[in-house]
Amino acid sequence: MSEQLFFNGINATTGEPLLPPITSDLLASIITKEERNVEQEKELAIWWEQYASPNAPQHLRAVEGTDYKDLSSAGWGVIFPFDVDDEIVDALRPLLEWRESQAGERYREYRGPDGYRYKPEDDMFESKNDWLTRHGMGPGPADPEKVPYYLLLVGDPDTIPYRFQSQLDVQYAVGRIHFDTPKEYANYANSVVTAEKKKLSLGKNATFFGVANPDDMATNMSIEQLVGPLAQNMPQKSEGWRVESVLRDQATKDHLAGLLGREQSPALLFTASHGMGFPNGHPLQLADQGALLCQDWPGPNQWRKPIGKDFYFAADDLPVDANVFGMVAFVFACYGAGTPQLDEFARIAFKRREAIASKNFIAKLPQRLLGHPKGGALAFIGHVERAWGYSFSWGKAGAQLAVFESALKRLMDGYSVGYAFEYFNQRYAELSSDLSVTLEEMDFGKRVEAMELAGMWTANNDARNYVVIGDPFVKLMV
């Protein structure tokens, strides 16, 4: 029997879902027509079998003996576009010098001829394998003597593509920053250095903020199977943490404003909600795409018209005197971290590259949080493209929270954001390998239930499209 799948994300101009509910049968038929990248599938399958499957050695991403908490062992590098503006490099100099003092001989600065190469006029972007090959690395675990395990990309996704980031992130711990002004780069660099040098201590406080709008299947599903259970389970998994739940009717815009800048700001904030979506060319798209729709919205049955700013929290809702210094935010929402220029779903479903934005861009909310003039957040984990609610629920097996719980526990236990995030990269590699095998077997006549195939595909997309905004070596300051 076919079942309906619901996706997160609301069209700000209509009040309707960005994607209507779709049956598992229809989605399965779309998936089987998808153009496959066989070379990438093989690489992910080999990586999964050799380095991350239950039977593989437990060194995971880097060579045996790597200490992921020590940069002199794991290494740290920054990847600039080959033609980066010197003002940006100068603005980041405090962070670069601090990381070099920690990593020593395993510090790398990639710019100029060593930086990321692209020719936008020819639509030619360097692949992950090409970039690694230029620096003496092939497939396999990271070797920090050649290329550091921790890598920070500096540049917008029009210059260093999202796909390069997601592919590099399978084997390395990768983060990205991009701001509109050198001053914001300097703000972020100074925030990280100040927090770490002065050993900022925010207290072990975590808040789970979950919206459940009336008559809305996607947000009610995320409350019941994601953010609600996480808020209940994490206190038992991470000793000494005080965990607060802000769910359903409490999850208002005003309450979120309090969590993002007032005295009760937690060290770790996890949110689950719709992310706002705007049509290509809309005057608010670059400013408000991915903004967090709160409980104030009455839901799709009561509000079938444009959604006003009173209902969602955007970058310009964070005041200049906000106190977000040192926090880490983990956001489950469509476009929460950024937006690609071309619609991946339309490419698969309708065989056309439909533009959903004028360019690839980072969402303004994480930019505002990290580049805040009073002291910024250290990292923002979020989603590029749409967030797939089915990714944390596996059909009749129910809620599947191991990846979220493991990543959060590792983060709350004092590991870096990039290392904690590896559970999502591991899941992406496993699902890609499984999906590749399943599609190949279907080519030879194997029958697979539509719901099983739809679940594998949506979970795979969801895991791939999570990114870290910020330095991947930062930790919770507790």
Read off the pLDDT of residues 249-292 as tens digits, 9 standing for 90 and up.
999 999 999 999 776 689 999 999 999 999 999 999 999 999 99
Q: What angle do CA 169, 417, 153 make, to 5 degrees?
A: 45
Residue 448 contacts by C-beta under 8 Å, 6 or more apart in sequence?
A: 28, 438, 441, 442
User: What's the CA gap between 75 and 379, in Å, rounded?
Assistant: 19
DSSP secondary structure letter of residue 415: -
- From 249, 468, 477, select the one nearest 375 (Cα to Cα): 477
- Determine the number of helices (DSSP H) and then strands (DSSP E) in the chain: 18, 20
Is the pTM value of this prediction over 0.85? yes
pLDDT per position as a tens digit, 424-449:
888 777 777 677 677 777 767 778 77
Query: Are the C-beta atoms of residues 368 and 469 closer than 8 Å to each other?
Result: no
Locus of tokens 């930062």: 474
Secondary structure (DSSP) of 337-375: SEE-SB-HHHHHHHSS--BSSSS-EE-HHHHHHHT-TT-
Which residue did the predictor score with more confidence, 368 or 394?
368
The yes-or-no verdict on residue 135 having pLDDT over 90 is yes
Least confident range of 53-62, 162-171, 208-217? 53-62
User: What's the CA gap between 382 and 379, in Å, rounded?
Assistant: 10
On the CB side of 375, CA atoms within 13 Å amount to 15
Q: At 414, is the secondary structure helix, strand, or coil?
A: coil
User: What's the CA gap between 412 and 438, in Å, rounded?
Assistant: 36
